[in-house]
A and B are shown apart, each in its own frame.
Chain A
Amino acid sequence: MLFYTYIIIAALVASIILTELFREKSWRNQLAMVIILIPLLLRIFQIK
C-alpha cells in the first residue's frame, strides 16, 4: 500500500514540475526542473 502511495505522490510532484516547467521563464530553473523530473519518471514507471 505504501509503495503505491509513494508512486501516486511521485506522479503528482512530476505533474506539478511539468506544469511549472512551461510557466518558468528562466532557462536555468527550467534545466533544474528537468533534472529533477528524470528520477521521478524512472520511479513512476518502476524502472529504477
Chain B
Amino acid sequence: MEKHHYIAVVFLLAGGILSAIASKDFLSMRDADILHPSQFVTTTGMLSDYLPEIKGTYGDTKVYYFNSGNPGATVILLGGTHPNEPAGFIAAAVLVENAQVTKGRLIVIPQSCASGFTATDPLEACPTHFTINTQSGPRTFRYGARGGNPLHQWPDPLVYRHYPSGQQLSGMESRNLNRSYPGRVDGSFMERNGFAIVQLIKKENVDVAFDLHEAAPEVMIINAIITHEKGSDIAANAVLNLEFEDLQYSLEISPKNFHGLSHREWGDSTMTFAFLMETSNPSQGRLRGVTSEALVVEGNDPFYKTASKLDNVRITYDSSGEPLSLRVARHLQGFKRLVESYNEAHPENSAIIENIPEYNAVVSDGVGKYLK
C-alpha cells in the first residue's frame, strides 16, 4: 500500500465515526414518545384500524378513546399534525394523561403525522428533542418536521396537485398532512394518512373535531380559531366567552377555495363541526436566533423581543416570551370553551369532558405538572 492509500483509510475511518454519530442522532427520532394514559382512557387503537393499508407504515399512529358509557356527542382532537408545532402534541398528551369523560366520547390522536416526528426540517437547525420537567422527572419528546419524512414519501413533485380539487400548491406540500384531506386510499403516503383520519371521523360519527397547530409570530393568522362555516356560531360564542377571561382569539372562517386543510375538508366531507387553533411559536419564526430546546420550551427569543418593540413589524409576540406552557394552556382553554359552546347549541347531544387543567394553572404551574 502506498501513502495515499493509508490516508484514504484514515479519512474513511474518520468519516465512518462521524456518520455513526450522526446516525445515532437521526435514528433516535424513530423511538416513539411514551405517554401515560389516564385511568379514564377506555381503549387504545391504531389509525390503521380505519385503513389497513397503512398498517406497519410510518403513517400509522396511536388513537386513544375515552368512552363515558353515557350517550352523547363524539369529540376528536388531533395534535402533531405538524410535528414542529409542539403545543398541539403536548396539549393532546395532557388530555390523554388527565381527561375524564362523563358524557359522550373523546378520541385523541396526539401524533397525527407520525412520519413527521422521525425527522427535522432540513436547513432549520432545529433540535431533535425537547425536555419538560414533569411529575415523574424530566421527560423528553421529539421535535419533528412540518411535513412527513422524505424517506417515507419521495420525491416531492414540482407542483402538488390536491385531490380531488386539482388546486396547485408547492411540491413540498405533498408531504403536509394538513393539505392532504380528504385524501384517497390509492394516493400518496400522505393522502392515505389523511384518508384514514377522514374515515375515522366518518366511522365514529364524530360531531366535533379539533386540529391543534402553531405558527410563526409573524404569520397573520395567529392566536386564532379557524372554523368551517358550519361551526361559525359555535366558534363566535366560544371566542366571546374566552374574551371574558381576557384571552384574545381571532375568529377566521375557512376559505372555501383553499383545499386540503382540516377545517375545510373535514367540514365538507363529513358531518363534523371542524375547528383549528393556532398559537404563536417563536421557534418556527424567520426572525428567530438560535433554535434550541430552550427556545422551544421557554419561547424567549431576543430578536423577536426587539421586533416586538418596532412599530413597523406586525408580530404576535409577548416581550416576556411565548412559553410552551402558555401555548398549551391556550389550546386547552380554547378546546374547553369550544366544546362548551357546542354543548350549548346541541344540548340534546352534548359531551362533558372533565379534568382539563385550567388556563391560569397551566401557565403558573407549568405544563409539566399535568404530565405524569
Beta-carbon contact of A21 and B8 below 8 Å: yes
Chain B stretch 24-49: residues in CB contact (< 8 A) with chain A? 26-27
- The reply on B256 being an interface residue by CB < 8 A is no
User: Assuming A31-B11, A42-B26, A48-B22, is B154 touching A3 (CB within 8 A)?
Assistant: yes
User: Assuming A2-B154, A27-B4, is B22 touching A37 (CB within 8 A)?
Assistant: no
**Separation of A24 and B151 alpha carbons in the complex (Å):** 33
User: Assuming A34-B12, A38-B22, is B4 touching A24 (CB within 8 A)?
Assistant: yes
Q: Report the count of interface residues on A (CB-CB < 8 A).
A: 21
Contact digits for B207-247, partner A, Cβ 8 Å, 1 yes 0 no = 00000000000000000000000000000000000000000
Chain B stretch 2-27: residues in CB contact (< 8 A) with chain A? 4-5, 7-8, 11-12, 14-15, 18-19, 22-23, 26-27
What B residues does A11 contact at CB under 8 A? Answer: none
Q: Please pick, from B14, B23, B151, B155, the residue contacting A34 in the complex, using a CB distance under 8 A.
A: B14
Beta-carbon contact of B23 and A6 below 8 Å: no
Beta-carbon contact of A30 and B4 below 8 Å: yes
**Separation of A30 and B2 alpha carbons in the complex (Å):** 14
Beta-carbon contact of B8 and A37 below 8 Å: no
What A residues does B23 contact at CB under 8 A? Answer: 42, 45, 47-48
Q: Give B13's nearest chain A residue, CB to CB.
A: A34
- The reply on B328 being an interface residue by CB < 8 A is no
Q: How far is the CB of A16 from chain B (nearest CB, A)?
A: 14
What A residues does B5 contact at CB under 8 A? Answer: 22
What A residues does B14 contact at CB under 8 A? Answer: 34
What B residues does A45 contact at CB under 8 A? Answer: 23
What A residues does B15 contact at CB under 8 A? Answer: 34-35, 37-38
Q: How far is the CB of A35 from chain B (nearest CB, A)?
A: 7
Q: Give A29's nearest chain B residue, CB to CB.
A: B4
Q: Please pick, from B7, B11, B18, B26, the residue contacting A48 in the complex, using a CB distance under 8 A.
A: B26
User: Assuming A47-B26, A47-B27, is B18 touching A24 (CB within 8 A)?
Assistant: no
Beta-carbon contact of B19 and A42 below 8 Å: yes
User: Assuming A24-B4, A25-B4, A27-B4, is B11 touching A46 (CB within 8 A)?
Assistant: no
Sample of 18 more A-B contacts, CB < 8 Å, known A27-B4, A37-B12, A42-B26: A2-B154, A2-B155, A21-B8, A21-B11, A21-B12, A30-B4, A30-B8, A31-B11, A33-B11, A34-B11, A35-B15, A37-B15, A38-B15, A38-B22, A46-B151, A47-B22, A48-B23, A48-B119
Task: Give chain B's interface residues, CB within 8 Å of chain A.
Answer: 4-5, 7-8, 11-12, 14-15, 18-19, 22-23, 26-27, 119, 151, 154-155
Task: Give chain A's interface residues, CB within 8 Å of chain B.
Answer: 2-3, 6, 21-22, 24-25, 27, 30-31, 33-35, 37-38, 41-42, 45-48
Give me 8 A-to-B residue pairs in the complex whose CB atoms sit less than 8 angstroms apart, sorted by A's number: A3-B154, A30-B7, A30-B8, A34-B15, A37-B12, A38-B15, A48-B23, A48-B119
